[in-house]
Amino acid sequence: MAARVVVLGGGPAGDVAALRAAQMGAEVVLVERRDLGGTCLNRGCVPSKALLAISALAAKIQRADEFGLRVQGLSFDFPRMQARKDEIVLKMRGGVEAACKRHQVKVVREPGRLEGAAVTAGGAVFPYDHLVVCVGTEPAGLPGIDMSHPRVITSDGVWALTEIPQRLLIIGGGVIGCEFASLFAPLGADVTVVEMLPQLLTGVDRRTAQQFQRLLEGHGVKVHLGSKVEELSYRDQGISATLTGGTKLEADTLLVAVGRSPQTSGIGLEEAGVAVNQRGHVEVDEYLRTANQAIWGAGDCIGGLQLAHLASAEAARAVENALDPGRMRPMDRTVVPNCIFTNPEIATVGLHADLAREAGHEVRIGQARFVGEAKALAEGEPEGYVQLVADAQDDRLLGATIMGPHAVELIHEVGVAISDGFTMAELGDVIHAHPTVSEVVMDAAQQGHGVAPYLS
Residue pair 263/33 in contact by the 8 Å Cβ criterion: no
pLDDT attached to residue 10:
96
Cis peptide bond N-terminal to 337, omega within 30: no
pLDDT tens, residue by residue, 312-327: 999 999 999 999 999 9
pLDDT in tens, 158-182: 999 999 999 999 999 999 999 999 9
Active-site positions read 434
* Residue pair 362/392 in contact by the 8 Å Cβ criterion: yes
Average pLDDT value over all residues in the chain: 96
- 394 Cβ partners below 8 Å, 6+ apart? 423
CA angle, residues 186, 189, 194, in degrees to nearest 5:
105
| pTM of the shown model | 0.95
Q: Per-residue confidence at 373, pLDDT binned at 50, 70, 90? A: very high
419, HSE (Cβ side, Cα atoms, 13 Å): 12
pLDDT score at 246: 93
DSSP 48: H
CB atoms within 10 A of CB 435: 12
Taken in order of first residue, the domains within the chain and their CATH numbers are 4-139+261-327 (3.50.50.60), 152-258 (3.50.50.60), 344-447 (3.30.390.30)
Give the mean pLDDT of 192-204. 95
Check if the beta carbon of residue 153 is closer than 8 Å to that of residue 255: yes
What's the distance, Cα to Cα, between the start and end of the chain in Å?
65
Task: Report pLDDT digits (tens) over 203-252.
Answer: 899 999 999 999 999 999 999 999 999 999 999 889 999 999 899 999 99
In degrees, rounded to 5, the angle at the alpha carbon of residue 50 between the alpha carbons of residues 306 and 249 is: 75
Q: Give strand pairing partners of 365.
A: 389
Q: What pLDDT was estimated at residue 456?
A: 65
Q: Which residues does residue 160 pair with via DSSP β-bridges, in sequence order?
A: none
Decide if 274 contacts 285 (C-beta within 8 A).
no
Contact 142, 228 (CB under 8 A): no
Burial of 129 (0-12, 13-18, 19+ CB in 10 A): middle
Give the number of other Cβ atoms within 10 Å of residue 46's Cβ: 19
Other Cβ atoms closer than 10 A to 195: 25
Residue 146's pLDDT is 94
Other Cβ atoms closer than 10 A to 194: 24
Neighbours of 73 (CB within 10 A): 4
Is residue 244 helix, strand or coil? coil
pLDDT band at 32 (very low <50, low <70, confident <90, very high): very high
Average pLDDT over residues 85-106: 97
Q: What is the pLDDT, as a whole number, of residue 236?
A: 87
Tens digit of pLDDT for each residue in 277-290? Answer: 999 999 999 999 99
* Per-residue model confidence (pLDDT) at position 183: 97
Rounded to 10 degrees, the C-alpha dihedral 116/120/126/132 comes to -70
Name the DSSP letter for residue 364. E
- Long-range contact pairs involving 420-427 (C-beta distance under 8 Å, separation at least 24): 421/396, 422/396, 422/397, 423/390, 423/394, 423/395, 423/396, 423/397, 424/364, 424/366, 424/388, 424/390, 424/395, 424/397, 424/448, 424/449, 425/395, 425/449, 427/388, 427/397
What strands, in cross-sheet order, belong to the sheet with 106-108?
106-108, 27-31, 4-8, 130-133, 295-297
Phi first, then psi: give them for residue 120, nearest 5 degrees.
-100, 135
State the Cα–Cα distance between residues 105 and 102, nearest whole angstrom. 8
The residue-averaged pLDDT of 319-340 equals: 97
